[in-house]
Amino acid sequence: MLHFVNVPADDPRWRDISLFTSNSTEAEVLFVGFDTDRSHSSFTRFYEGFASPVVVDTYEGLDTVVNGFETHPQQSVIVDLAAQTLAPLARWIKDSELFEVFAGLGVTVNFWHVLDDGKDSSDLLGTLVDTFGNRPNYIVVQNYGRGNDFALLLGSQSLSKATAHGARVIALPRLHDASMRKIDARNTSFWKAVNDREGQNALGLLERQRVKSWLATSYAAFDTLPL
């Protein structure tokens, strides 16, 4: 499975990427990660050893994302999409006939679009669907860590177009701000945050419990998806 994860530029994108990879790690799913964001490389920062930087300016750079599928079609690859990468990504996908090649290999392509509650996030979803049509799967994630009123999205033409192509919509709940700031400042994965009890950067007992409860709710949302 190939997962492209698109997070609006002003979002703390690592929250969503690392949550998904924490779920993959706990489920013992083999995954490889690629970070296209040169400005903060959050995916690489939180999952050193699992994620590598990739340059989207060249086809050769993007080719490294998918080369392993020919011999290991069962693997999961997660690509953290930086801002302004949609155009070069779309050209590479079209010129490489990626959807056709992956259909032959039996590999599914998923686009995750993680939104705040603003108009720009909703509009970007429409652009994504207009670009790729009905060829990939779409997962629309309402990120309550970055907003609490998604009425604009729910009434938008962007979401109507996405659901017409079979998009799934899930909600990512808000995590207590102080706990999130500590995890961010310490470069800690969510898995480590709930399992590290004695390290220098360990969270307190109830902090770990709040993160654990939040993760359980988030994983339950992921479990509703046909992945």
Mean pLDDT, residues 115-128 taken together: 94
Exposure class string for 117-151: b at 16+ Cβ within 10 A, else e = bbeebbebbbebbebbeeebbbbbbbbbbbbeebe
Percent of the chain with pLDDT over 70: 79
pLDDT, position 14:
46
Out of 90-94, 96-100, 148-152, 181-185, pick the least confident.
181-185
Question: Is residue 119's pLDDT more than 80?
Answer: yes
Q: Which residue has the tokens 């993760």?
A: 215
Q: When comparing pLDDT for 162 and 71, which is higher?
A: 162
CATH ID of 2-175, from 2.102.10.10, 3.60.70.12, 3.40.1080.10, 3.40.50.300: 3.40.50.300
pLDDT tier, 21 (very low <50, low <70, confident <90, very high otherwise)? low
Cβ atoms of 78 and 31 closer than 8 Å: yes
pLDDT, position 128:
96
Cβ atoms of 53 and 61 closer than 8 Å: no
Exposure class string for 6-30: b at 16+ Cβ within 10 A, else e = bbbeebbbbbbbbbbbbbbbeeeee
Q: Give the chain's mean pLDDT.
A: 82
Q: Which residue has the tokens 């990939």?
A: 136
The enclosing H or E element of 31 equals: strand 31-35
CB atoms within 10 A of CB 209: 12
Which of 41, 38, 39 shows the shortest CA–CA distance to 55? 38
Q: Give the domain ranges of the chain.
A: 2-175
Q: When comparing pLDDT for 23 and 152, which is higher?
A: 152
pLDDT, position 46:
45
pLDDT tier, 157 (very low <50, low <70, confident <90, very high otherwise)? very high
pLDDT tens per residue across span 158-177 = 999 999 999 999 999 998 88
CB atoms within 10 A of CB 37: 22
pLDDT, position 150:
96
| Six-digit token string for 151 | 């009425």
pLDDT, position 18:
53
Cβ atoms of 118 and 43 closer than 8 Å: no
Q: When comparing pLDDT for 67 and 93, which is higher?
A: 93
Question: Is residue 13's pLDDT more than 70?
Answer: no
pTM (2 d.p.): 0.84
Q: Which residues are 140's β-sheet partners?
A: 113, 169
CB atoms within 10 A of CB 104: 10
